[in-house]
Structure 1
Amino acid sequence: MRFHHLAGRVWLCPGDPDPEAVQAGVAVVADERGSVMIDAGQSPAHAREIRAALDDAGLPPPRWLVYTHHHWDHVWGAAAWPDVEIVGHVTGADLLRAEAARPWSHRYLRDQVRANPRLAPSFRARALAVDSWEDLAILPPTRTFTDEDELPVGVRLRHVGGAHAPDSTVVLVPDSGVMLLGDCYYPPPAHLRGPDDGPDLALVRRLLDDGYRWYVSSHGEPMTRDEARAAVAAA
C-alpha cells in the first residue's frame, strides 16, 4: 500500500481492488500548512497501513479529515487520526451518531445477517476488516456544513447527495484540477438496491467542469475529464 502522486497537491492511496473487500481508497491534499485527508480508511488496521504509507511518501500529516459520506468503509478508521478536525455534511453527523450506538461485534453482525440476508456481503467484509472491536470508534464530524464549505488551505467541499448516500460530498482542489467524487454517483448500497438502480449519470454530467482535469471515485481508477465524458456518453 502506497501513495501515488496524481496532480498538483493531490496524492492517492488506492483501496483493495477486490470488490468483496469493500475497501475505499483515500486521498491526501498535501500542504505544509496542514494536509487534508479525504476519508479515513475502513478500519483501524487499514488506517494504520495508510498512516505508514503517508510516512513512507514523506507527506505532511493531516490537519483535517473530510468524510465524503458516512458509509463504514470510508469512516471506520477515523480513530487512528486523533489530532485532526473531522469535517462532514450535517446529515452524516446524525447518521454516524446512530451507527456509533450500535453494539458492533461478530455476534451482532451474524444476528443482523440472519435477520436480513442481503446484508451478508457488507457485514462479512466488516468482520474481516476489523481485527479488534475494542479498537473501533465510530466518530461523527466535529465540523459540519450544509451546502458548501472551504478549508483554509483552499480545499472546497460541496454537498451533492444522491441515491448512494444522503450526505455525499465531493471534494474540489481547484489549484490541482482534481475533483474527488467519493461514491456520490454509485447506486444505493447492495442491500437497498432495486433491479432498476444504476449509476447516477445525470449527477456526473452536472459535475463535469472544464476547470478540472481529474475525476477520482473511491473504488475506481482516476479518470481524465475526456475519459469521464466518454464514459458518460457511452453509457
Structure 2
Amino acid sequence: MPDTSGSDSKDDIISIQQLAGRVWLFPHDPDPGNIRGSVAIIADDRGSVIVDAGHSPAHAREIQSAMAAAGLPAASWLVYTHHHWDHTWGACAWPDVEIVGHVAGREILQNEAARPWSHRYLRDEVRANPRLGPSFRARALAMDTWDGFTIRPPQRVFTDELTLPTGVRLRHVGGAHAPDSTVVLVPDSAVALLGDCFYPPPAHLRAPDDGPDLAMLGGLVSGDYEWYVDSHDDPWTREQAVANGLV
C-alpha cells in the first residue's frame, strides 16, 4: 500500500496508509513483544470513526498526528473491538469522542479502571502470577507516564448489532479470545475489521491445545468484503482466504 501521509519528516517512521475507500490504517508493530495492534480510521465528513484506541496514550497521539498529516477529519466515534488493554488504553487521549463497545466489555473495563495501575503494580502482579509477564511487561514499555491515565469504558453499548450514523456496522461475534469481540464492517469500502476475534485466548489463559478459531474466521469471510484486517497481522484479501482454504 502506498504511503499517503504527506509527510517528508525523517522522524515519521510509521505513517497512516489508505487501505480501500474511506478506510485507513495505522499499522501494527510486527514485534510481538510490543503487543501494539493496527488502528483503523474510517474517514467521513461527519467525523472519523476510530477502530480501537491504541495501546497507550502515546500511541493514540501518534495516530492523531498521522491523521492530521493526511488531512483526515477529527475523530467523532471510537469503537472497541474488545476490552483488552492494547485496544483500549489509548482512549484517554481521544477527547470529544463517543466510545462505543459491546455490553459485555463495559463491566470488565469498569473493573479494570478501578485497579491502581503503575509500574510497581505491574511488577507486583507478575510476581504473583508469572504467566502475566509478557502482557504486563508490554504494558510497562507502552506507558512512559501514568499522569492523566484513565481507562474509559464504552459510553454507548450494544448487544447484537449497531449501525453508526456514518454507515459503519458493528456486529458482536464473541469467541474464546474475548466475550465482547466485535467485528466492524464498512460495506461501501468492502472492508471487514476483525480485531482479534478468532485468536486463541490471551497467553495467561491459554491451554496448550488452544489455537485460532478457524471456523469463526471462515464464517466471517464473505463475497461482500474484499479486505480483511485482524489487529496483529497485515491486511489480507478474500482471494487469499480462498487460496488458504478458509472458505
Q: TM-score range by the shorter chain?
A: over 0.9
208, 213, 220: which one pairs with 2:226?
213
Superposition pairs of residues 151-166 of structure 1, within 5 angstroms: 151-166=164-179
1:59 corresponds in structure 2 to: 72
Give RMSD over aligned pairs: 1.0
113, 118, 121: which one pairs with 2:134?
121
Query: SS where residue 50 of structure 2 aligns?
Result: strand
In structure 1, what residue type is equivalent to 2:140?
Answer: A
In structure 2, what residue type is equivalent to 1:183?
Answer: D
* Stretch deviating more after TM superposition (206-215 or 221-230): 221-230
* Residue 105 of structure 2 corresponds to residue 104 of structure 1: no
Which 4+ stretches in 1 moved above 6 angstroms?
Answer: none
- Determine the C-alpha separation between the residues in 1 that align with 2:147 and 2:205: 29
Task: Write 1 or 2 for the structure with the bigger share of helix.
Answer: 1
- Determine the C-alpha separation between the residues in 2 that align with 1:192 and 1:223: 28
In structure 2, what residue type is equivalent to 1:143?
Answer: R
In structure 2, what residue type is equivalent to 1:193?
Answer: R
Deviation sequence 1:183-220 (CA, Å, 0-9, x none): 00000000000011000000011111101000000111
2:44 corresponds in structure 1 to: 31
- Determine the C-alpha separation between the residues in 1 that align with 2:242 and 2:88: 30
TM-score w.r.t. length of structure 1: 0.98
- Determine the C-alpha separation between the residues in 2 that align with 1:58 and 1:94: 36
Change (3 A) 1:233 1:33: closer
Contact 1:201 1:232 in 2 (8 A): no
Contact 2:170 2:182 in 1 (8 A): yes
Change (3 A) 1:232 1:200: farther
- Provide the identity percentage: 69
1:191 corresponds in structure 2 to: 204
Contact 1:160 1:170 in 2 (8 A): yes
TM-score w.r.t. length of structure 2: 0.93
1:169 corresponds in structure 2 to: 182
Q: What is the deviation of 1:133?
A: 1.2
- Determine the C-alpha separation between the residues in 2 that align with 1:172 and 1:47: 22
Contact 1:164 1:183 in 2 (8 A): yes
- Determine the C-alpha separation between the residues in 2 that align with 1:233 and 1:10: 24
- Determine the C-alpha separation between the residues in 2 that align with 1:151 and 1:179: 15
* Residue 32 of structure 2 corresponds to residue 5 of structure 1: no
- Determine the C-alpha separation between the residues in 2 that align with 1:47 and 1:130: 12
* Stretch deviating more after TM superposition (224-233 or 139-148): 224-233
